[in-house]
Amino acid sequence: MTMRICLALAAIVSGTAAGAVTPDYTDDRSTPVAVVASLYNALNRQEYLRAWSYFGEGAVTDYASFRDGYQDTTTVDVAYGEVQSDGAAGTIYSTVPVAIAAHHKDGSVAFFAGCYTVAQVQPAVQDTPPFRPIEIRQGHLRPAKSMDVPSDACSG
Write out pLDDT tens, residues 1-30: 433 334 333 443 444 444 558 999 999 999
| Inside any domain, residue 152 | no
| Inside any domain, residue 97 | yes
Mark the ranges of the chain whose per-residue pLDDT is less than 70. Answer: 1-20, 156
pLDDT computed for residue 56 by the predictor: 95
pLDDT computed for residue 156 by the predictor: 65
| Inside any domain, residue 26 | yes
| Inside any domain, residue 122 | yes
Alpha carbon separation from 29 to 33, 134, 141 (Å, rounded): 9, 6, 21
Q: Which domain holds residue 136?
A: 3-144
pLDDT computed for residue 21 by the predictor: 81
**CATH number of the structural domain spanning residue 31:** 3.10.450.50
| Inside any domain, residue 120 | yes
Q: How many domains does the chain have?
A: 1
- Buried-state track 86-117, b at ≥16 Cβ within 10 A, e below 16: eeeeeebebbbbbbbbbbeeeeeeebbbbbbb
| Inside any domain, residue 116 | yes
